[in-house]
Amino acid sequence: MKKILHILSIQQFTSSEVLKIFHQTCQMEKNAQRSVNLRSKSKGIVLLFYQPSTRTRASFELASHFLGYRILYSTEAAEFFSSAAKGESLEDTIELFSNYPGVKVIILRHPEKGSADRAAKIAGPYGISIINAGDGANEHPTQALLDLYTIYKLRLNQKPMKQIKLVVANDIEHSRTIRSLCLLFAKIFRPLEIGVSAPKNINLAKDIQNGLKDSGVKIIKFNDLKTAALWADFLYMTRPQIEYYRSKKLAKKFQHFRISKDFLDSIPQNYPCQILHPMPIDSKNFNEITDEARHHPRCQIFQQARNGIYIRMALLKMLLK
The CATH number linked to 102 is 3.40.50.1370
One domain for residues 91 and 158: no
Task: Supply the angle between the helices 301-320 and 141-154 in degrees, to the nearest 10.
Answer: 120
One domain for residues 277 and 153: yes
Residue 147 CA to residue 307 CA, distance in Å, equals: 8
Is 3 part of a structural domain of the chain?
A: no
Beta strands in the chain (DSSP E): 44-49, 70-75, 103-110, 129-135, 166-169, 193-197, 218-222, 234-237, 274-276
Is 1 part of a structural domain of the chain?
A: no
Long-range contacts for 190-193 (Cβ within 8 Å, ≥24 apart)?
190/162, 190/215, 190/216, 190/217, 191/161, 191/162, 191/163, 191/164, 191/165, 191/166, 191/217, 192/162, 192/163, 192/217, 192/218, 193/165, 193/217, 193/218, 193/219, 193/220
Residues of the domain holding 54: 10-140+308-320
One domain for residues 313 and 292: no
Residue 150 CA to residue 295 CA, distance in Å, equals: 17
Is 5 part of a structural domain of the chain?
A: no
One domain for residues 154 and 298: yes
pLDDT for the residue numbered 243: 67
What backbone torsions phi and psi does residue 220 show, to the nearest 5 degrees?
Answer: -105, 125
Is 23 part of a structural domain of the chain?
A: yes
pLDDT for the residue numbered 75: 86
pLDDT for the residue numbered 241: 76
Give the strands of the sheet with 129-135, arranged side by side: 70-75, 44-49, 103-110, 129-135
One domain for residues 96 and 157: no
One domain for residues 17 and 113: yes
Could you tell me the CA-to-CA distances from 19 to 5, 16, 318 in Å, in that order? 18, 5, 13
One domain for residues 218 and 232: yes
pLDDT for the residue numbered 4: 87
One domain for residues 113 and 160: no
Q: Are 131 and 108 in contact (CB under 8 A)?
A: yes
One domain for residues 111 and 187: no
Number of domains in the chain: 2
Q: Could you tell me which residues come within 8 angstroms of residue 214 by beta carbon, excluding any fewer than 6 positions away? A: none
One domain for residues 191 and 103: no
pLDDT for the residue numbered 29: 85
Is 288 part of a structural domain of the chain?
A: yes
One domain for residues 38 and 62: yes
pLDDT for the residue numbered 245: 63
One domain for residues 39 and 129: yes
Is 196 part of a structural domain of the chain?
A: yes
pLDDT in tens, the chain (321 residues): 678 899 999 999 999 999 999 999 998 888 776 654 444 456 799 999 998 889 999 999 999 999 989 999 998 777 776 777 788 899 999 999 999 988 999 999 999 999 999 999 999 999 999 999 999 888 999 999 999 999 999 998 889 999 999 999 998 988 899 999 999 999 999 999 999 999 888 899 999 999 999 999 999 999 999 999 999 999 999 988 776 666 666 667 777 889 999 999 999 999 999 999 999 999 888 899 999 999 999 999 999 999 999 999 999 999 987
Cα 179–chain centre separation: 10
Q: Could you tell me which residues come within 8 angstroms of residue 62 by beta carbon, excluding any fewer than 6 positions away? A: 309
3-state SS track over 113-128: CCHHHHHHHHHHHHCC
Is 236 part of a structural domain of the chain?
A: yes
Is 4 part of a structural domain of the chain?
A: no
